[in-house]
Amino acid sequence: MSADKDFTYAQVAEHSTKKDLYLVIHDKVYNTTAFVDEHPGGEEVLLDVGGQDATEAFEDVGHSDEAREILEGLLIGNLKRKEGDPKPKLSTTTSATTSTNNAAGLGIGLYAIILIGAGLAFGAYKYLQTQEGKA
Q: Between vectors from CA 24 to CA 20 and to CA 25, what angle results, nearest 5°?
A: 135
Residues 6+ away with beta carbon under 8 Å from 108:
none
Q: Residue 49, interface with ligand HEM (CB under 6 A)?
A: yes
Query: Which residue among 7, 9, 23, 76 contacts ligand HEM (CB under 6 A)?
Result: 23
Tell me, residue by residue from 50 to 89, as one string, x for binding to ligand HEM by CB under 6 A and - for no binding. ----x--xx--x-xx-xx--xx--x---------------
Query: Phi first, then psi: what are they for 13, rounded to 5°?
Result: -65, -20
DSSP code at position 82: -
Q: Residue 47, interface with ligand HEM (CB under 6 A)?
A: no
Mapped onto helix, strand or coil, the DSSP state of residue 43 is helix
Query: Which residue among 26, 39, 80, 81 contacts ligand HEM (CB under 6 A)?
Result: 39
CA dist., res. 51 & res. 14, Å (int): 6
Q: Which of 45, 50, 62, 48 is nearest to 20 (CA)?
A: 50
Q: Residue 132, interface with ligand HEM (CB under 6 A)?
A: no
Q: Residue 41, interface with ligand HEM (CB under 6 A)?
A: yes
Contacting positions for ligand HEM (CB under 6 A): 23, 30, 32, 35, 39-41, 45-46, 49, 54, 57-58, 61, 63-64, 66-67, 70-71, 74
